Amino acid sequence: MKTRLLSPLLVCAVLALASAPAPAHANTTQTTLSAALENKQVVGNARLRVWGFEVYDARLFAGTGFEVARFAEQPLALELSYLRSLKGLAIAERSLEEMRDLETIAPAQADAWLGAMRGLFPDVKKGDRITGVHQPGRGAVFYLNDRWLGAVADDRFSRLFFGIWLSPNTSQPAMRSSLLQNLAPVARTP
């Protein structure tokens, strides 16, 4: 009798899991990094220094006609090449702090995003590269040294995450300027 009850319970559990929405960090695209960077060129480079310590070199990739004022609406990629070892937890926590400086984030949302980043960002050592790809309307995908790490399927998360470097309210305006150094001026019509 217990086996009869267990079997329907097991079936219900499997069906519930199969119909549950994918977690925020689920792979929604599984494209390769080279495919994600296709039709994008380096817009600029910058080095982050904190208290005299070199932390990472950043490279911004974007397509022709990229406008920083509309960065949240356009595909782009940001590569961070680490110049020192850092814990993934520290990367996630600092990212959330920077995102909170750009916009108010509800505590439950902040906890969810921090959990997603903790699950995505590994400990890095000198020479490791984490590349984030902004996919407007879908969220962000992340790679470690060209290997897919995962995704956060949340457009607001992606906008705020890449806003750390691209928002006019970034905590690093000189770095933002360097990342945007090769952008062609936007033509204005009278």
Q: Which tens digits make up the pLDDT trace of 8-45?
A: 333 333 223 222 333 344 444 446 888 888 888 999 99
Alpha helices in the chain (DSSP H): 2-19, 33-36, 88-102, 107-120, 155-166, 173-179
What CATH code is assigned to 25-179? 3.50.70.10
Tokens of 156: 């607001």
Number of neighbours of residue 100 by Cβ within 10 angstroms:
13
Supply the pTM of this predicted model: 0.80
Residue 66: pLDDT above 80? yes
Mean pLDDT value of segment 109-115: 97
Highest mean pLDDT (candidates 21-25, 38-42, 65-69, 122-126)? 122-126
Please give the pLDDT value at position 190.
Answer: 46
Residue type, 81: S
Q: Which DSSP helix (H) or strand (E) runs through 135?
A: strand 129-135
State whether residue 119 is helix, strand or coil. Answer: helix
Residue 150: pLDDT above 60? yes
Highest mean pLDDT (candidates 20-29, 88-97, 176-185)? 88-97
Tokens of 47: 């080095």
